[in-house]
Amino acid sequence: MSLPEPAAPSPHRAALKGRCPKCGEGRLYAGYLKLAPKCGSCGLDLTAYDQADGPAVFVMFIVGFLVVIPALAVELAYRPPYWIHAALWLPWTVAWALALLRPIKSWMVAQQFVHNAAEASFKE
């Protein structure tokens, strides 16, 4: 009697944990934002997954909403000096950007893996 094979891990869940979207085991990153050249567990070539500026664009839009709306609320309610705004919102902006950039980049790698995304090639 053979045991059933375990189900493949969710590539999205694995990528958001910083793991390979194929096997869910190997590390996705070699640094904070630098993708590893390949998965140490299954050998998946990670150099093919290029997100370009996509993660940064998503982070800018999300952080923009998370910072601008409270900043406007504080301005309208208290009218603090500009240095107070800088002291409040600059660290808030940097913290949110650093917290969101890696998970969004990982999610985009998972999307490319799931949909077999590749660079366009035109054949004549």
**Number of domains comprising the chain:** 1
User: Is residue 79 in a domain?
Assistant: yes
Q: For each of the chain's 124 residues, which pLDDT tens digit applies?
A: 566 656 668 888 888 899 999 888 899 999 999 999 999 999 999 988 888 899 999 999 999 999 999 999 999 999 999 999 999 999 999 999 999 999 999 999 999 988 888 777 787 6
pLDDT tens digit sequence for 29-52: 999 999 999 999 999 999 888 888
User: Is residue 4 in a domain?
Assistant: no
C-beta of residue 18 within 8 angstroms of C-beta of residue 5: no
**Structural domain range at position 82:** 11-114
User: Is residue 55 in a domain?
Assistant: yes
